[in-house]
Amino acid sequence: MEKVFIPHLFRHERHTLKIPVDGMVLDLETLTPVRGQITVQHQGTFLNVSAAADAIITLVCHRCLQQYNHRLELDAQEVIWLDEAADDTYDGPIELRVDFNDLVESLHPEGHFDAETWLYEQLCLSLPHRQLCSEDCPGLPIPDSQPAVAEETKAIDSRWGSLKSLLEQSE
Ligand SMILES: [Zn+2]
């Protein structure tokens, strides 16, 4: 997925670029390709970015530790401000450029919008916090009494048995 050169958005009808998505997104391991669409609209002082996408992803149940498949459905929308002060040379995740006093994402108006990284972040955010294979997941199975223990118990029982017969003989 190519990065979007922000000024080029003006070339599109209603300054809106629609990016079809059908494939893997960065290193997010999904069972099926991520399918959907990202819409980037230039609103002059900000970008209005939205995405609708879905994929099947394999998760591990927090309760029974079994793997299960989860349908990830993304419906995200975000405003990214265009700010001359934003550093366009920064090439990492968008989140990291946000300082604590200004929790609004911004990009340089002559910079690039990295649609794939943005989509990746949105998909990660949409992962369920509570991962359960089913609402009534019974949790980890309780192990059966181990044969070794059972054998030992039997051995003790037979010793008690011989002690008992000894006592019976002495009567
Ligand atoms: Zn489970």
Q: For 113-166, write each residue's pLDDT tens digit.
A: 999 999 999 999 999 999 999 999 999 877 765 555 555 555 556 666 666 666
Structural tokens at position 169: 């003989």
What is the maximum span of the chain, computed from C-alpha positions, in angstroms?
109
DSSP 43-91: -SSEEEEEEEEEEEEEEE-TTT--EEEEEEEEEEEEEEEE-TTS-TT--
Q: Is the pLDDT of residue 98 over 60?
A: no
CA 146 to centroid of ligand 1, rounded, Å? 24
Q: Is the pLDDT of residue 100 over 60?
A: no
Cα 14 from Cα 9, distance rounded (Å):
9
Least confident range from 37-46, 62-71, 101-110, 143-152: namely 143-152
Least confident range from 33-42, 62-71, 86-95, 130-139: namely 86-95
Cα 140 from Cα 6, distance rounded (Å):
51
Q: Under DSSP, is residue 36 helix (H, G, I), strand (E, B) or coil?
A: strand
Structural tokens at position 55: 């994929």
Domain boundaries, the chain: 4-138
What stretches of 102-142 show up as alpha helix (H) in DSSP?
115-125
CA 136 to centroid of ligand 1, rounded, Å? 8
Q: Is the pLDDT of residue 19 over 70?
A: yes
C-alpha of 125 from chain center: 7
Share of the chain above pLDDT 70, in %: 73
Using the 8-state DSSP alphabet, how is residue 140 labeled? S
pTM higher than 0.75:
no
Pairwise pLDDT comparison (156 vs 67), residue with the higher score: 67
Q: For 79-92, write each residue's pLDDT tens digit.
A: 999 988 876 555 66
Cα 29 from Cα 83, distance rounded (Å):
34
Strands 34-42 and 16-23: antiparallel
- Which pLDDT value is given to residue 85? 81
Task: Report yes or no: 26 and 117 within 8 Å, Cβ to Cβ.
Answer: yes
- Mean pLDDT score, 32-43: 98
Beta carbons within 10 angstroms of residue 67's beta carbon = 10
CA 141 to centroid of ligand 1, rounded, Å? 10
CA 165 to centroid of ligand 1, rounded, Å? 51
CA 58 to centroid of ligand 1, rounded, Å? 13
